[in-house]
Amino acid sequence: MSRWLTEAVPRGRIAAFRTVIYLFVAADLVIFTPWVRTRASVLGELYQPLLIGRVLPLPTPTPALVAVIFWALLLLALLAATGRAPRLLGWAVCALYLEWMIIAMSYGKVDHDRFGLLVALAVLPTAGRARHGDTTRTEAGGWALRVTQIAVICTYFLAAWAKLRFGGLDWLTGSVLARAIIRRGTDLADLIAQVPYLLIVAQFGIVAFELLSPVVFLLPARWRLAMVGFFYSFHAVTIATITISFAPHLAAMASFLPLERIRPLLWARWLIGRREPATTVVHEPSGPGTEPTSREDQAPALGRPAGP
């Protein structure tokens, strides 16, 4: 078990995953959860902190507190995405984002799609330094990715358990998806809803796939990636039909991917290099009437003898 939990991965994968996660945190503040800032204007009596907020205890949100957390977290997340000071910046981002989520979820609604992301933020500082493209393998980084993967799969499995625990078999045969389509469905969802019994079949399929999601750990690497691809496609359909994105969960699920193969900076340099002129004129000191020569003229042409 310990060997599986600490299976070594390239440091480049850790660096890429770290960049993805911290950039997502910055995007989350301004795109997905900017509404958290409005909590500061809500009456303090309506703030019912989660258990962790009561145990610590954490202060009731005020306009000043929320503003400080927002700007500090945005700045630190962007700095952490560069990979510098991974422990110091990582722990700071983890603490601030946890408080951001406690504020967000302490007014009556708790989103389960943030679990994997919070776990990723908690374990990434333990992975140590990592550079993009580094092929050196690290067990500490492997442990951080594995724990995040477990959190991602637990999100699926426990979601199915909650459906059956609170909804029973009626969740499978009821009108759960029909109500979701009525509330926030798209034109595509309206077309799907017209097919008899298709929504019931979809509900059975959702619970089955969530319960079977731990199988991903038993598959060979190639088939594991295929199953993760299916997970992403499931969420793509969810977005296209009932406009629920699960964006934090999708970011954490990148822990399954060979991200070390993605080298955007290297690709950018390669593209810039291709756009440079093929020849460069080199001016050399010469006598009157001597023409400047180019680098291309100084080397033999491809496929042409160098001699006279």
pLDDT digits over 282-300, tens only?
A: 555 555 555 554 444 444 4
Question: Is the pLDDT score of 196 beyond 70?
Answer: yes
* 302 pLDDT above the threshold of 50: no
Pick the more confident residue, 271 or 234.
234
Tell me, what's the pLDDT at 212? 96
Q: Tell me: pLDDT of 243 over 50.
A: yes
Query: For residues 95 and 52, what is the distance between their CA atoms, to the nearest angstrom?
Result: 12
Predicted local distance difference test score (pLDDT) of residue 290: 52
Question: In this model, does residue 305 exceed pLDDT 60?
Answer: no
Does position 25 have pLDDT exceeding 80, yes or no? yes
**Extents of the domains making up the chain:** 2-264
Six token digits for residue 298? 């100084």
Under the banding of pLDDT at 50, 70 and 90, the label for residue 96 is very high
Q: What does pTM read for this prediction?
A: 0.83
Percent of the chain's residues with pLDDT above 90: 70
Per-residue confidence (pLDDT) for residue 189, from 0 to 100: 94
Tens digit of pLDDT for each residue in 114-124? 999 999 999 99
**43-82: pLDDT as tens digits:** 777 888 888 888 888 888 888 999 999 999 999 999 999 9
Q: How confident is the model at residue 249 (pLDDT cuts 50, 70, 90)?
A: very high
- Least confident segment among 106-110, 252-256, 279-283: 279-283
What confidence score (pLDDT) does residue 47 get? 87
- Contact in structure between 67 and 96 (CB atoms under 8 Å): no
Q: What is the mean pLDDT of residues 132-151?
A: 95
pLDDT of residue 155: 97
Bond preceding residue 285 cis, omega within 30 of 0: no
